[in-house]
Amino acid sequence: MVFETIARNIADRLDCDVATITEETTFESLGIDSLDTVEMVMELEEELGFEIEMEGSLKTIGEFAEFVESKRP
């Protein structure tokens, strides 16, 4: 579920087709840097209603979704 939310968020942000974003897609290939991911985390915090403390950097959208899911209380 988190993956779908993130994919939709990225598709909105980049104005691209959500179907082109898979769990294996890397942030780098989309031109999304670490501060963009922090902004996405902030939006997710609002949407999901829990705090997501940032640590290190993640390469793929799938890893990112897993990280966010692991923060769910």
Q: Does 70 bind other proteins (CB under 8 A)?
A: no
**Which token pair is 47?**
């949407």
Q: CA–CA separation, 41 vs 60, rounded Å?
A: 14
What's the one-letter identity of residue 72?
R
If we measure between CA atoms, which residue out of 43, 10, 2, 55 comes closest to residue 29?
Answer: 10
What's the one-letter identity of residue 7?
A
Q: Which is nearer to other proteins, 16 or 38 (CB)?
A: 38
What residues are labeled active site? 33
Q: Minimum CB separation from other proteins for residue 19, in Å?
A: 26
**For other proteins, what does the binding mask look like between residues 3 and 42, x meaning CB under 8 A?**
------------------------------xxx-xxx-xx
The residues of the shown chain that bind other proteins, judged by CB under 8 A, are: 33-35, 37-39, 41-42, 53-54
